[in-house]
Structure 1
Amino acid sequence: MATPDPNVRISNAEREAVIGRLHAATEEGRLELDEFAERSRKVYEAKTFAEVEQLLTDLPKTTGALAVPAERTTHPAPALELTHSYTTLRKDGAWKVPARIVVRPQHGRTVLDCRDAVFTSDDIEIELDLKYSGFTLVLPEGATAVDDNVQLDGGRVFNRSRAGGDGPRFRLTGRTHFARVHVRYERRFLWWRW
């Protein structure tokens, strides 16, 4: 990181970074406790980097600049990747549904039965990359699914989702290459359910 302009006002995060540097110097024995308390007070009173830099001149520079914490970035939750060829892959029962699923079959069939699944998020993105394949999503009661972002290069999308449910919301994205996508709820006939 470049050395900040001494005339720029200091932020709260940058103040905390300076306090952290003073605390580290105290732990190393470079500052006494009363010096640490006095300098910390001055850091909180400082308005610009120039006022803070003079509090650090007699301490070794570990990075050559004020240690300003980087902004925290939230990493997306890892996706469940389903990649298979010439076979049928089925997820059903009490399986854990992550917030993002990537489905990449070639000449295969994928069935995601979510009727009894455990959801980690209310919004689930399913990214499709289907080649000569079939994909079926069985929704639990109250769930909804939107397929507006699926690019079709042959094939069709059959979405029988009903709007206005209070359950999980599925968003289908990606593309299909001569593939069929079915989104439906549970089917019943007498005592059979599928």
Structure 2
Amino acid sequence: MRAGDVDRDRVAAVLADALATGHLDPEEHASRLEAAYAARTLAELHPLTLDLPVSASELQPVEPPSARPVTALFSKVRRGGQWPVPPTSVARARWGKLVIDLRQAVFTRREVVIEADALCGLIEIILPPHVRVYDEGGAFFAKRVLPLGAVDETPTDGPTIRITGRALLGQVRVRRPRAASGAGGHAWREWR
């Protein structure tokens, strides 16, 4: 039987819980999550959670993670590490800098929306290599920067991030680290 996005999202939620409780390490989680988004049938999804506390046959709809706004007001705020990304997030920078680092974040849905509102501030979103990103926001006396190849060069089976919102006298910048260069340093790709 064919798997739908709802089925993949439920498996992704179980995998996120397993990562958060220590049943999976980050590498195993990333591998299984990639397989979940690539699965075309329920039979492909079932083994991904079979050895976890909740099996694929017992999956129930999962409460979405908290979608409270993250705000930097006259300050610098950084959100990073292993945290579940809600289906919809609100990020606000008001005369400050807000950094949202998604490189280790746990995507519980195939598509997430980040409403990025920058008023005389900077919102920087750091992407993992396996996601697609679309910028659907606006700018007025401001700048919005999307990484080079944000859509064309990324795999189609990973999560998708849609960035909405407005930049007013501020900046919304999306970056993606690329393969390490030289002695373990990271280089950045950016479209200007």
Superposed displacement of residue 125, structure 1 = 0.4
Amino acid of the residue matched to residue 136 of structure 1?
A: E
Q: What is the RMSD computed on CA atoms of the aligned residues?
A: 2.1
- Partners in 2 of 1:144 and 1:89 — Cα distance? 24
Q: How does the TM-score come out when normalised to structure 2?
A: 0.56
Structure with the greater relative contact order (CA < 8 A, sep ≥ 6): 1 or 2? 2
Larger of the two Rg values belongs to structure = 1
- Partners in 2 of 1:90 and 1:78 — Cα distance? 17
- Partners in 2 of 1:84 and 1:185 — Cα distance? 22
Q: Is the 8 A contact 1:89 1:109 kept in 2?
A: yes
Superposed displacement of residue 78, structure 1 = 4.8
- CA distance 1:76–1:116, shift in 2 (3 Å): closer
Query: 1:182 aligns to what?
Result: 173
Q: How does 1:1-194 map to 2 (within 5 A)?
A: 78-147=66-135, 149-160=136-147, 161-163=150-152, 164-165=154-155, 166-187=157-178, 188-189=180-181, 190-193=183-186
Amino acid of the residue matched to residue 86 of structure 1?
A: F
Superposed displacement of residue 80, structure 1 = 3.3
1:59-94 deviation per Cα after TM superposition (whole angstroms, max 9, x unaligned):
xxxxxxxxxxxxxxxx98752311231111111121
Q: Is the 8 A contact 1:103 1:127 kept in 2?
A: yes
- CA distance 1:95–1:76, shift in 2 (3 Å): closer
Q: Is the 8 A contact 1:100 1:126 kept in 2?
A: yes
- Partners in 2 of 1:116 and 1:76 — Cα distance? 18
Q: How does the TM-score come out when normalised to structure 1?
A: 0.55
Higher strand proportion, which one?
1
Query: 2:12 aligns to what?
Result: none
1:73-132 deviation per Cα after TM superposition (whole angstroms, max 9, x unaligned):
xx9875231123111111112122111110122101111111111111111101122101
Q: Is the 8 A contact 1:155 1:176 kept in 2?
A: yes
- Partners in 1 of 2:101 and 2:64 — Cα distance? 24
- Partners in 2 of 1:183 and 1:108 — Cα distance? 16
Provide the aligned length of Structure 1 versus Structure 2.
Answer: 119
Superposed displacement of residue 155, structure 1 = 1.1
Amino acid of the residue matched to residue 158 of structure 1?
A: V
Name the SS of the counterpart of 2:142 in structure 1: strand
1:118-149 deviation per Cα after TM superposition (whole angstroms, max 9, x unaligned):
111111101122101111111111211111x2
Q: Which runs of 5+ in 1 are unaligned?
A: 1-74
- Partners in 2 of 1:84 and 1:112 — Cα distance? 11
